Every structure is written in structure tokens, then in C-alpha cells.
Amino acid sequence: MCPLLPMKRRLPRAPAGDPAFAPLEDPRMYWPVQRARLEKLGREGLESLLGVPVERGLMQLWRHELPGAAWVERIGLPRRAVEWQLGQELVLHVDPCRLICGTNWKGYPHKLRPTSSAFIWDGEWDLRRGDLRQGSRARFIADLAAHRDDLTRSDAFATYIARLKAGKPWKSHQQGILLDSETRILTFLRVYLSFMDDMAVRGFDSTRGKDMLGVAVSRDGTLIKINRGLHRLAMAQHLGLPSVPVAVKAVHRQWWERVTQGARGKHALAMVKENLADCIPETTVS
């Protein structure tokens, strides 16, 4: 009888894992990835059992203008329920080279930041914006493109090598990768180049990332970049793509009140949908 051989521990699917990064998955990241995966499953399970039914119930209350509808609107309307109602109507197509303003939370107290669970945002968040052209993702993509023939000369390579030499190699429990060698670092950077090369040939694929490019509508009705997808946006800008799809995740309350004119329910959503078509990227960086 053949002796039993020890089984190789298989890395669980990382929450933000992409098949392109598979060669960089490391068994030493097993438990960090397992924790991140279980946290994600638990969070999604709780949302499915409690969050989604409650949010849809609140949305139905508001849509039919039942008692409490004013309160539901005052707390911002549940974002996911609005997405459920409007669907693809929240997707706009914009010139990525004009989408240059992103929300700037630096120095902005957490208690003043709007919650991602609401669709209507209060506050001064739209007046605090940064220039994405000067951001770390734009610099990263431009750096790789400029040194594609010898990535060892790139600033990105120098940064990761410095971490490695300091005994603190870069790692991601969300992707399950560990950059603990020069070979791994170069492979990691080449993956990003492959993403950009694929985009140059096939165009922008909104299904490639974890989420669509998210934007919020300012009080003036302009689009400001929020949340994930900044690497993909930087690639589209570097390549000069004519158009990319973006999903409206939130709107400023002042804009909401101006376009809905006090209406609620289906009528208000119809007015929002109609006015979203006129929203263009904000190009003034404050």
C-alpha cells in the first residue's frame, strides 16, 4: 500500500483575487486570506438576511409615500434599494480624461463623512476634491508605461524592493499575494501592464474589476470620482479611451432637492433619472 502523502494546502479564493495574480498566490497567506474571505462571507450573509429586506422595505414605504416616507428621505434613502429601482439608469458614459476630480477625505473627520449605505449625501464632501491626475494610481500607471522595457528602473519596483530589503515585503490578504522576491515583484508589475495592454486592445471592461467605477453627483450636478477602480480609470486616461461607464452611487442633497422639487416616490426617481443625463465630470479642482 502506498503511504499517504501530505496534501498541499490550497489557498482559498481571495476576496479581491484576480486570476491574473494566481502565480503570485502564496500558501503563507492562507490564514490571512481565510479570515478576509470569512469576514466577507459573514458580512454579505448578514446584509442578505437583514440589510437588504429592511432597505427594500424602507424604499417601498418611501415610494408609496406612506407614513415615515419623509424620515426615510431625510436619512438619505438606502443606496442599494435605489440601485435596485433604477438599475442601469444609474450608469453613465463619460470621457475618462475629463473625470479628473476625486473625493478628498484627508483631514475630513469621519463623523462628517457621508455613509456609503445612503444614496443622498449631506455635507461639504463635494467641495473637498483632489486632482486624480496627480494621484498615486496615475503616477503608478505612467511609471510602468514609461519603463515597460525594463521595469527594474521604475519607481514602483524601487518602492517594493525597498520594502523587501527592510524585511517588510508588500502583501495583500485581499488578493492572497506576497511580494517577497524580485521575481514576484516583476511579475506583479507585469500583470498591471497586461491589464493596460488588454484595455488598449479590447477597450474598457466594466466586469473585470470587483466594482464598477463609482461617482457621486455634486451639489452643482457634476460628477466626482469615489471609491474603487482608480487603477482602471488611470489606465483608461493614460490610453486616452473615448468613454468609460461609471455608476452613480450617491447624489448631494442640494442637487436632489433641486431636481425633485419636493416630489417623492416614482415621480422623484423619474426626475432624478432624467436629470442624470445632464451630469458631466467636474473639471475644477479645489
pLDDT in tens, 131-171: 999 999 999 999 999 999 999 999 999 999 999 999 999 98
Question: What is the structure's pLDDT at 172?
Answer: 84
pTM across the whole model = 0.86
The grid cell for 62 is: 418611501
Are the C-beta atoms of residues 14 and 176 closer than 8 Å to each other? yes
Question: What is the structure's pLDDT at 5?
Answer: 35
Question: What is the structure's pLDDT at 2?
Answer: 40
DSSP assignment of the chain, as one string? -PPPPPPPPPPPPPTT--GGGGGGB-GGGHHHHHHHHHHHHHHHHHIIIIIHHHHHHHHHHHHTT-TTHHHHHHTT-BHHHHHHHHGGGGEEEE-GGG--EEE--TT--GGGSPPTTBSEE-SSGGG-EEEGGGSHHHHHHHHHHHTTT-GGGSHHHHHHHHHHHTT---EETTTTEE--SHHHHHHHHHHHHHHHHHHHHH---TTSSSSPEEEEE-TTSEEEEESS-HHHHHHHHHHT-S-EEEEEEEEEHHHHHHHHTT--HHHHHHHHHHHHTT-EE-----
Cα 105 to Cα 112: distance, rounded to the nearest angstrom: 10
Give the number of C-alpha atoms closer than 13 A to the C-alpha of residue 277, restricted to the C-beta side: 5
Are the C-beta atoms of residues 241 and 250 closer than 8 Å to each other? no
Check whether 7 has a pLDDT greater than 50. no
- Give residue-wise pLDDT tens across range 207-246: 777 678 999 999 999 999 997 789 999 999 999 999 999 9
